[in-house]
A = this chain, B = another copy of it.
Amino acid sequence: MSSVCLVERLKKGGYRITPQRQEIINCFGSGGKHYSAEEIHQEIKNKFPNVSLDTVYRNLNTMRELGIIEALNFEDGKCRYELAGENSHHHHLICIRCGMSEELDFCPLKFLDSSLLRDKKFTVERHSFELYGYCSSCTGSKREVK
C-alpha cells in the first residue's frame, strides 16, 4: 500500500492530513519494520522537535481504527505497529535477545479444525501467533536480555 493511498484513506475517514500525520505515515513508508510508538516519536522529532508523544499515540490509534495499521504485541510491554496490507496477513519470529522481528508466512488458523469452535459456539474475531526464540545472530549466546 503506497503512502498516497494511506493519505486517501485518512481523508475518506474525515480526517485532516496534518504535517504530523504525514510524517507518521512516512515512517511506515520505508519497509517492514515494527516500530513502537516511542521509536516513531523519536523519528518524527527530527522534523518536528515539538511533536508530542500523545499525538503519535492518538494518530496511531486513529489509523488502527481505519484499518490502516495493525498493533502487534510482542509481549515486551509495549505495542508495535505495522502497515496492514490487504493480502499481507502473517505472523512473526521474535528474537528474545536482540529484539529482531521477522515476518513468518504461516497461519495456524488454516489447520484448526473449525468444528472445535463450532462445538464451543465461539466466534473468532482475531488471533495471535508468534514464535519467540533466538535469531541466527543470537543463537549461540542464548541469554535472554530483558
Contacts and interface: CB of A to CB of B under 8 A. Distances in A.
A122 B106 contact: no
Contact of A124 (B108, B121, B126, B131): B131
A132 B127 contact: yes
Given A106-B116, A108-B111, A116-B104, A132 B121 contact: no
Interface of A: 73, 75, 93, 95-96, 102, 104-106, 108, 111-113, 116-117, 120-136, 139, 142
Give the number of copies in the complex.
Answer: 2
14 contacts: A73-B75, A96-B125, A106-B116, A120-B136, A121-B135, A122-B139, A123-B134, A123-B139, A125-B133, A127-B129, A127-B130, A128-B129, A128-B130, A129-B129
Contacts of A142: 123
Given A104-B116, A122-B93, A75 B133 contact: no
Contact of A75 (B93, B95, B112, B128): B128
A82 to B, nearest CB: 16
Contacts of A135: 120-122
Contacts of A112: 106, 108
A9 B95 CA distance: 30
A135 B123 CA distance: 7
